[in-house]
């Protein structure tokens, strides 16, 4: 299996949750990284840890929908690969305000593909042959599964939310730029990520912090919706495998083989916190409250990653339980980070119920 050596890597969204994990890994192993991030509410330089001060890391604060900024960044840094992770990614926010999702996920991806194509076309033959553009997407583009079955490479797209529809559009653009312009794009789709540095609007960190403060733990509907969870470092392993060993035009699916009902995830968080930091008031499951469900809430996601495992030699290294324990430990030890990233942006309030007439 051939491995491509990358010299300079442009990472979009590198101050976000998954993006910062990618940047920390790349810089830690000695790669030179150009980090393009708009530093929205979900992007934070603190998430980069020691990578932020390394001479291997360069932060370019820019919007991927800004064509002029992208042209300047490509001309200045001349990357040999792009890992495109920048995205608006919270379903509830997409229900309340879909405009930002179209602008970043669709228009931003289009502008990035266009600039990458222009830059790639001007490279010498050997550099053009080794250039890669990895477009990082989600399993939510496939819609909702019933009680059986898995998403695989043959699953048709059936997005159900403004978020997933915007990511589906971006996926189609990425593939079109491969087939029409021969830009060497690789597409990846992943299941629900969790781990350190995740902004506390997502389920697991939201539950951890609410439980620590003795607040109610809101669970949508009856909590029966199922997600396949992957620890973020395992996803990073997969993305780098796709970058270095993947084939242009191919799609790779990354899942953790860890399906859990939402209510069971919340209960697992409660049990871990009860063990690691007991609450004098009693077991934290008492805080669970069932609330009005999200509009159009997909029932179940699950990824069959067996083909990807065979093609890339990748597999998840963490069980759900191992990853969750590491995650809870991290949030217990980094409450200052949690307070700072939420300050003025988000304080745990319910999103995603706005209905416009």
- Under a CB-based contact definition with an 8 Å cutoff, are residues 288 and 134 in contact? no
Catalytic machinery residues: 139-140, 163
**Euclidean distance between CA atoms 52 and 19, whole angstroms:** 13
Q: At what angle do helices 262-276 and 203-212 cross, to 10 degrees?
A: 40
Q: What is the pLDDT of residue 57?
A: 98
Nearest Cα residue to 353 out of 165, 142, 93: 93
Domain ranges in the chain are 8-198+229-260+297-320
Q: What is the dihedral of CA 27, 332, 350, 107, to 10 degrees?
A: 0
Please give the model's pTM, rounded to 2 decimal places.
Answer: 0.93
- Under a CB-based contact definition with an 8 Å cutoff, are residues 286 and 254 in contact? no
pLDDT band at 294 (very low <50, low <70, confident <90, very high): confident
Q: How many helices (H) and strands (E) does the chain have?
A: 13, 12
- Under a CB-based contact definition with an 8 Å cutoff, are residues 333 and 259 in contact? no
Q: What pLDDT, in 10s, does the model give residues 106-136?
A: 999 999 999 999 999 999 999 999 999 999 9
Q: What pLDDT, in 10s, does the model give residues 37-88?
A: 999 888 899 999 999 999 999 999 999 999 999 999 999 999 999 999 999 9
Q: What pLDDT, in 10s, does the model give residues 13-30?
A: 999 999 999 999 999 999
CATH classification number, 8-198+229-260+297-320, choose in 3.40.50.2000, 2.30.110.10, 3.40.50.720, 3.40.50.10800: 3.40.50.720
**Euclidean distance between CA atoms 263 and 220, whole angstroms:** 9
Q: Of 14-18, 90-94, 181-185, 323-327, which gets the smallest average pLDDT?
A: 90-94
């Amino acid at each position: 299996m051939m491995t491509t050596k990358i010299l300079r890597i442009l990472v979009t969204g590198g101050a976000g949750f998954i993006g910062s994990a990618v940047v920390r890994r790349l810089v830690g192993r000695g790669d030179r990284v150009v980090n393009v991030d708009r530093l929205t509410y979900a992007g934070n330089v603190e998430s980069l840890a020691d990578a932020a001060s390394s001479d291997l890391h360069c932060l370019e604060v820019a919007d991927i929908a800004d064509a002029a900024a992208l042209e300047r960044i490509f001309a200045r840094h001349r990357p040999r690969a792009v890992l495109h992770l920048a995205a608006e990614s919270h379903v509830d926010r997409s229900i309340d305000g879909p405009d930002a999702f179209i602008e970043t996920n669709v228009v931003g991806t289009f502008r990035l593909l266009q600039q990458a194509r222009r830059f790639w076309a001007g490279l010498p033959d050997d550099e053009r042959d080794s250039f890669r553009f990895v477009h990082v997407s989600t399993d939510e583009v496939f819609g909702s599964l019933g009680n059986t079955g898995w998403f695989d490479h043959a699953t048709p797209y059936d997005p159900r939310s403004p978020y997933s529809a915007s990511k589906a559009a971006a996926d189609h653009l990425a593939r079109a730029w491969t087939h029409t312009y021969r830009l060497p794009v690789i597409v990846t789709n992943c299941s629900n990520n969790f781990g350190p540095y995740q902004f506390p609007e997502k389920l697991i960190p939201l539950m951890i912090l609410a439980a620590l403060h003795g607040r109610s733990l809101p669970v949508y509907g009856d909590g029966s919706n199922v997600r396949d969870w992957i620890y973020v470092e395992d996803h990073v392993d997969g993305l780098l495998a796709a970058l270095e060993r993947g084939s242009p035009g191919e799609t790779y699916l990354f899942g953790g083989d860890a399906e859990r009902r939402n209510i069971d995830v919340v209960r697992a968080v409660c049990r871990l916190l009860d063990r690691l930091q007991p609450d004098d008031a009693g077991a934290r499951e008492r805080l669970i409250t069932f609330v009005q469900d999200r509009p159009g809430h997909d029932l179940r996601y699950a990824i069959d990653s067996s083909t990807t495992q065979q093609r890339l030699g990748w597999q998840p290294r963490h069980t759900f339980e191992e990853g969750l324990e590491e995650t809870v430990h991290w949030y217990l030890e980094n409450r200052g980070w949690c307070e700072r990233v939420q300050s003025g942006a988000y304080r745990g309030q319910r999103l995603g119920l706005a209905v416009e007439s």
